[in-house]
Amino acid sequence: MNVTIPLTLIKILSDGSIHSCEQLAKLLSIKLSCINEHIHILREWGIEVNTITSNSIQLTRKMDLLDYERIYGLVRRGNIIVKQVINSTNQYLIEHIDQLSSGDACVAEYQTAGRGRRGQYWASPFGCNLYLSLYWHLRQGSTAAMGLSLVTAIVIAETLNKLNSSNIKVKWPNDLYFNKKKLAGILIEMIGKITYPAHVAIGIGLNIAMSRNYEANINQGWINLEQTGIRIERSLIAGQIILALRYELVQFEKYGLVPFIKRWLALDTFLHKKIRLHIGNHLEVGIMKGIDEHGFILLDQNGEIVSYTCGVISLQKDNYNN
């Protein structure tokens, strides 16, 4: 499908003003009768287009479009790929690995096949969130991948908190939370064979202004930055996260996870709370005590500190009001 006209239409409508369909048809050099076809595409991409009159439309909100110059002006080196429509930012890196250097990043307005951990669906409406992937040549190999997701979570949380003096937290092993709801997720994917060193795509999905219309498609509580009162341009967030990741991942390669543990503990949303750890069909319960030098979760179980390598954690019910 040729997306040139829909993308041009988005750019015109992004100012949030009311536009007449006749004016839009002239600007797009198309017949007036074709306007509805392109409006339909915008709605399929998750953009809320309101019909104001029989001959005029307006977006529900002004759209903050990604700006390559703004992002690159912050990071100042390496490749920054900004895509309007893409299957997945991680998939793009995987398919173009031979053209990438460590620290190169891909950012997109819209993903047609966004994915989360364990292949789960990731809602990716156009221009609402941040979909960002960064390629890293991990010298420690695939065994360090767990630590990589934790460092990435720390970097995103600290970056957002510095930008807006907020209180965003991390949740083991790869989520960010605000007010007990999911704000962002991280997907670490190995590229090619599991080798030493390893090629890794670090995928980040951050909810910024996604509509509640997507609630039925998401199987957990979630929140976006705008709901918290935080309004930061997406290009600034993208640039600052890329910049911070490039620095902190070098530190991780030099010194491992140990220097990051204290920072994790300061951000851990479940620290010292009773949690449930689901490992397949098996359940463990204990008091969250943070992470060890390998990135494994630590639980206090009857006075004994036990580490676990994997699983999904949730609060024990008697913690919900704490």
d(CA 74, CA 85): 23
Q: What is the pLDDT of residue 118?
A: 55
DSSP helix/strand/coil, 76: coil
Q: How many structural domains does the chain have?
A: 3
Asked if residue 224 and residue 140 are part of one domain, the reply reads yes
Summary mean pLDDT of the chain? 90
Per-residue pLDDT, averaged over 124-137, amounts to 93
- CA dihedral 267→268→269→272, nearest 10 degrees, is -130
Q: Is the predicted pLDDT of residue 221 greater than 80, yes or no?
A: no
Q: Is the predicted pLDDT of residue 212 greater than 70, yes or no?
A: no
Q: Is the predicted pLDDT of residue 75 greater than 90, yes or no?
A: yes
Q: What is the DSSP letter of 158?
A: H
Q: Is the predicted pLDDT of residue 223 greater than 70, yes or no?
A: yes
CATH number at residue 30: 1.10.10.10
Asked if residue 292 and residue 259 are part of one domain, the reply reads no
Burial of 286 from C-beta contacts in 10 A (0-12 / 13-18 / 19+) = buried
CB contact at 8 A, 293 and 258: yes
Q: Is the predicted pLDDT of residue 216 greater than 60, yes or no?
A: no
Q: What is the DSSP string of 10-57?
A: HHHHTT---EEHHHHHHHHTS-GGGHHHHHHHHHHTT--EEEEETTEE
Nearest alpha-carbon partner for 245 in 228, 260, 224, 230? 260
Among positive and negative, which fits the CA dihedral 175, 176, 180, 181?
negative
Q: At what angle do helices 35-44 and 21-28 cross, to 10 degrees?
A: 90
pLDDT per residue as tens digits for the range 257-286: 999 999 999 999 999 999 999 999 999 999
Q: Is the predicted pLDDT of residue 307 greater than 90, yes or no?
A: yes
pLDDT per residue as tens digits for the range 225-256: 888 888 899 999 999 999 999 999 999 999 99
Asked if residue 285 and residue 221 are part of one domain, the reply reads no
Instruction: Supply the range of the domain harboring residue 35.
Output: 4-59
Asked if residue 163 and residue 143 are part of one domain, the reply reads yes
CB contact at 8 A, 208 and 124: no
Nearest alpha-carbon partner for 136 in 72, 193, 93, 91? 93
Among positive and negative, which fits the CA dihedral 230, 235, 238, 240?
negative
pLDDT per residue as tens digits for the range 192-210: 776 678 899 999 999 998 7
Asked if residue 160 and residue 304 are part of one domain, the reply reads no
Per-residue pLDDT, averaged over 149-162, amounts to 96
Asked if residue 140 and residue 247 are part of one domain, the reply reads yes
Burial of 217 from C-beta contacts in 10 A (0-12 / 13-18 / 19+) = exposed
Asked if residue 259 and residue 115 are part of one domain, the reply reads yes
Q: Is the predicted pLDDT of residue 117 greater than 70, yes or no?
A: no
DSSP helix/strand/coil, 225: coil
As separate numbers, helices (DSSP H) first and strands (DSSP E) second, the chain gives 8, 15
Q: Is the predicted pLDDT of residue 151 greater than 70, yes or no?
A: yes
Q: What is the pLDDT of residue 11?
A: 96
Cβ within 8 Å of residue 21, ≥6 positions away = 32, 35, 55, 56, 57
d(CA 279, CA 89): 29
d(CA 171, CA 150): 9
- CA dihedral 304→310→316→322, nearest 10 degrees, is 90
Asked if residue 283 and residue 253 are part of one domain, the reply reads no
Neighbouring CB atoms inside 10 A of 77's CB total 11
Asked if residue 242 and residue 123 are part of one domain, the reply reads yes
pLDDT per residue as tens digits for the range 283-297: 999 999 999 999 999
The tokens describing 130, both together, are 């941040």
pLDDT per residue as tens digits for the range 10-59: 999 999 999 999 999 999 999 999 999 999 999 999 999 999 998 999 99
Asked if residue 229 and residue 180 are part of one domain, the reply reads yes
Higher pLDDT, 122 or 3: 3
Pick the last residue of a domain from 230, 250, 266: 266
Under the banding of pLDDT at 50, 70 and 90, the label for residue 119 is low
